[in-house]
Chain A
Amino acid sequence: MNSSELGAIVGVGEFDPKADVNLSSRMEMARSINDLFQRCQVSPAETAKPELWAWLTVTLFDRLKTLKGKSSGAFAIWYPESRWTRFYRHVLYGPWRVYRLHSNEPELVQPLLHGKVTSHGEFFEQIAAYQELAQSPGVLGAARALYWNEEKGELRRGHAAKGEHSDATGSVRRFSAIVQQLALTWDISDISADELLELLPTEFDRWKS
Chain B
Amino acid sequence: MPRLNFTGRKRIRREDAQVNLSAIGNGSYKPELALNLTPYDFPSSAKIRLELINREMLWRRGFGSIATPGFKGPSVISGLSADAPLYARLKVVDSSSGTAKILGLMRKVRVFGRIAPGQGAATQSFVEVMTEDLGQQVWRLELPDDDNEAPVLLVNKHIEQARTMATDPLFRSVVMPVVLEKVLEGILVESNFRKFDEDSVWSRILQFAERLSPADAVRQLPDGTIDQSDVRVAKDWIQDTVRAWAVQHEFASHFDSNWNRGQK
Chain A interface residues toward B at CB < 8 A: 43-45, 48-49, 82-85, 87, 97, 129-132, 135, 184-187, 189-191, 195, 199
Q: Which of A45, A135, A186 contacts B27 (CB 8 A)?
A: A45
A48 with B7, Cβ < 8 A, contacts A82-B132, A186-B100 known: no
Instruction: Kindly report which residue of chain B lies nearest to residue A189, judged by CB atoms.
Output: B60
Chain B interface residues toward A at CB < 8 A: 5, 7-9, 27, 49, 51, 53-58, 60, 78-79, 81, 83-84, 91, 93, 98-102, 132, 142, 144-145, 152
Contact check, B102 vs A187: say whether CB atoms are below 8 A apart: yes
Cα(A132)–Cα(B59), bound, Å: 10
Distance (whole angstroms) from the CB of A92 to the closest CB of chain B: 13
User: Which residues of chain B are within 8 angstroms of A190 by Cβ–Cβ distance?
Assistant: 49, 93, 100
Distance (whole angstroms) from the CB of A177 to the closest CB of chain B: 10
The 27 listed contacts between A and B (C-beta, < 8 Å) are A43-B79, A44-B78, A45-B81, A49-B81, A82-B84, A82-B132, A83-B55, A83-B144, A85-B142, A87-B55, A87-B56, A131-B57, A131-B58, A135-B60, A184-B9, A185-B8, A185-B9, A186-B99, A186-B101, A186-B102, A187-B49, A187-B91, A187-B93, A187-B101, A189-B51, A189-B60, A199-B99
A45 with B100, Cβ < 8 A, contacts A187-B93, A190-B93 known: no
Cα(A13)–Cα(B136), bound, Å: 36
Instruction: Kindly report which residue of chain A lies nearest to residue B77, judged by CB atoms.
Output: A44
A97 with B56, Cβ < 8 A, contacts A45-B78, A45-B79, A195-B98 known: yes
Q: Which of A84, A187, A191 contacts B56 (CB 8 A)?
A: A84
User: Which residues of chain A are within 8 angstroms of B7 by Cβ–Cβ distance?
Assistant: 184-185
A191 with B55, Cβ < 8 A, contacts A44-B79, A85-B144, A184-B7 known: no
Smallest CB-CB A-B distances: 3 pairs: A45-B79, A187-B100, A44-B79
Cα(A61)–Cα(B60), bound, Å: 35
Name the residue in A43, A44, A49, A83 with the highest tally of chain B Cβ atoms < 10 Å from its Cβ. A83
Distance (whole angstroms) from the CB of B5 to the closest CB of chain A: 7
Contact check, B55 vs A82: say whether CB atoms are below 8 A apart: yes
Instruction: Kindly report which residue of chain B lies nearest to residue A136, judged by CB atoms.
Output: B58
Distance (whole angstroms) from the CB of B129 to the closest CB of chain A: 14
User: Which residues of chain A are within 8 angstroms of B99 by Cβ–Cβ distance?
Assistant: 186, 191, 195, 199
Distance (whole angstroms) from the CB of B208 to the closest CB of chain A: 23
A131 with B53, Cβ < 8 A, contacts A82-B132, A186-B99 known: yes
Distance (whole angstroms) from the CB of A135 to the closest CB of chain B: 5
User: Which residues of chain A are within 8 angstroms of B8 by Cβ–Cβ distance?
Assistant: 185
Cα(A2)–Cα(B174), bound, Å: 34
Contact check, B145 vs A85: say whether CB atoms are below 8 A apart: yes
A132 with B144, Cβ < 8 A, contacts A44-B79, A185-B7, A186-B99 known: no
Distance (whole angstroms) from the CB of B152 to the closest CB of chain A: 7
Cα(A184)–Cα(B11), bound, Å: 12
Cα(A95)–Cα(B45), bound, Å: 38
Cα(A87)–Cα(B98), bound, Å: 35
Cα(A43)–Cα(B60), bound, Å: 19
Contact check, B84 vs A48: say whether CB atoms are below 8 A apart: yes
Instruction: Kindly report which residue of chain B lies nearest to residue A83, judged by CB atoms.
Output: B55
User: Which residues of chain A are within 8 angstroms of B81 by Cβ–Cβ distance?
Assistant: 45, 48-49
User: Which residues of chain B are within 8 angstroms of A49 by Cβ–Cβ distance?
Assistant: 81
Cα(A49)–Cα(B56), bound, Å: 10
Distance (whole angstroms) from the CB of B1 to the closest CB of chain A: 19
> Can you add 11 more A-B contacts, CB < 8 Å, to A184-B9, A189-B49, A199-B99?
A83-B152, A84-B55, A85-B144, A129-B145, A131-B57, A132-B58, A135-B58, A186-B101, A189-B51, A189-B60, A195-B98
Cα(A87)–Cα(B84), bound, Å: 12
Contact check, A185 vs B132: say whether CB atoms are below 8 A apart: no
Contact check, A48 vs B56: say whether CB atoms are below 8 A apart: yes
